[in-house]
Amino acid sequence: MRFDEAFFDRIIDRRNTDCEKWDDRGVMDPDGIPLWVADMDFACAPPIVEAIRKRAEHPCFGYTIDNPADDEALIGFWRRRHGLEIQPGEITMLPCVVTGLKACVRALTQPGDSVAIVTPVYGPFYGSIKSNGRIVRAVSLKRDEETGRYDLDFGAMQKALQEGAKLVMLCSPHNPASRLWKKEELTRLCELAEEYGVPMVCDEIHADFVYAPGKFVSILSIPEGRNRAVMLCSASKTFNVAGLQQAAMVCMNPDLLEKLRKELNAAGVMCGNTFALLAARAAYTQGDDWLDGLIAYLDGTRKLLADWVAAYVPKAKMSPIEATYLAWLDMRAYGLTCEEMARKCRKAKVALTGGTFFGEEGEGFMRVNFACPRSQLKEGIKRLGAALEEQ
């Protein structure tokens, strides 16, 4: 099968499949266009469907044992795609990355500790800290108002560590700023964490969505990171099977790993979902051509999106997209709050993610998920523009 434009241009009706993105009536009517929840409106790689179908034909779905093939599939994928060497003993399977974020907060800090996060950032970073009785220490990204590009603020991170932050959590590549962190930036962050003796958590769930000439660098490929970082990744995000739930935690430091496994064990987090593991194995071993086709499609879409935003939402400013399939739009020129924009969008039958989901710095911003057929995206952006112009 060819994973070309025609494959990804195909409209698939996902309504009435208990699909959060399409079926959440609290957010959008049935004829709305969803550009919000971060999954993709594309068919997944055929080997995944085949693996699930084959297994479903067997009528017994009892307990699953760990199969070394699952670790090997993940190891092979990360070696091939990112040049990272992982050993089987360093991997812990998880149902999802958010479980990993929470387990890290619980295992690596104490109640009342502060945790440094680089903001604005994916909402559950805040939730994983607050819901466990820890304190969010927001370290704001520096925004270049001219270009909309964001940079790490190392001075502010150092201040947070000086003031006692006990853990650093980073999203890499960054959601929602669409930044691909460079090796030098990650190295500097790791050196700071080393200076203050704190562990790090690096959510690398968007590692595979990177556009040329950029090249993803894992925190675990940096010497200072290998010893103090926990990396979280997920087959379900890369291969668009989030409903199956399959993620992994990779930790190369035995002391941190022991604490994390103890925490997961105490919470009863086990990972033995038959379908999810098989799907991930098929994806990691037979999904490369689908993934290459996907990235080529998204790369083309990212360029078109810039044109459509300029044409239909002219007062919006889009941050440069180096990675992820998420675009961060500065809508402040429209003079509306996120809540007001959401109301107008609902009326115009389009749904985006409001910037405040990513923290208070997101007020007046919106995030667009552009991983959908281009015709759908273009219509959604047109509706967004019309919504904002309406008095």
Ligand X SMILES: Cc1ncc(COP(=O)(O)O)c(C=O)c1O
Which positions from 46 through 105 interact with ligand X, judged by CB under 6 A?
Answer: 96-98
Residue 68, token pair as written in the block: 């070394």
Rule CB under 6 A: choose which of 33, 38, 244, 336 binds ligand X: 38
**Closer Cβ to ligand X, 139 or 348, answer by number:** 139
Q: % helix / strand / coil in the chain, to the nearest 5? A: 45, 15, 40
Rule CB under 6 A: choose which of 205, 210, 291, 348 binds ligand X: 205
Q: How far is the CB of 377 from ligand X (least distance, A)?
A: 18
Stretch that binds ligand X, among 54-62, 235-243, 303-311, 343-351 (CB under 6 A): 235-243
**Closer Cβ to ligand X, 109 or 246, answer by number:** 246
Q: How far is the CB of 359 from ligand X (least distance, A)?
A: 13
Q: How far is the CB of 387 from ligand X (least distance, A)?
A: 24
Q: How far is the CB of 236 from ligand X (least distance, A)?
A: 6
Contact string (CB under 6 A) for ligand X, positions 355-374, x = contact: --------------------
Stretch that binds ligand X, among 55-63, 72-80, 183-191, 230-238 (CB under 6 A): 230-238
Rule CB under 6 A: choose which of 41, 71, 113, 203 binds ligand X: 203
For strand 114-119 and strand 167-171, is the pairing parallel, antiparallel, or unpaired? parallel
Rule CB under 6 A: choose which of 22, 36, 42, 122 binds ligand X: 122
CA contacts within 13 A on the Cβ side of 187: 6
Residue whose entry in the numeric block shows the structure tokens 């010893």:
227
Sign for the pseudo-dihedral over CA of 211, 128, 66, 43: negative
Q: Cα separation of 216 and 207, whole Å?
A: 6
- DSSP bridge partners of 119: 140
Contact between 113 and ligand X by CB under 6 A: the answer reads: no
Q: How far is the CB of 334 from ligand X (least distance, A)?
A: 25
Residue 96, token pair as written in the block: 């999802």
Q: How far is the CB of 100 from ligand X (least distance, A)?
A: 8
Q: How far is CA 378 from the centre of its chain?
A: 23
Q: Cα separation of 207 and 67, whole Å?
A: 25
CA angle at 384 for the pair 379 and 389, rounded to the nearest 5° = 125
Phi, psi angle pair for 52, to nearest 5°: -70, -45
Closest CA to 250 of 268, 234, 271, 265: 234
Rule CB under 6 A: choose which of 242, 251, 345, 381 binds ligand X: 242
Amino acid of residue 268: G
Number of residues counted as binding ligand X (CB under 6 A): 14
Query: Cis link prior to 111 (omega < 30° from 0)?
Result: no
Q: How far is the CB of 37 from ligand X (least distance, A)?
A: 7
Rule CB under 6 A: choose which of 33, 247, 298, 341 binds ligand X: 247
Closest CA to 357 of 81, 125, 108: 125
**Closer Cβ to ligand X, 39 or 330, answer by number:** 39
Footprint on this chain of ligand X (rule: CB under 6 A): 38, 96-98, 122, 171, 175, 203, 205, 234, 236-237, 242, 247
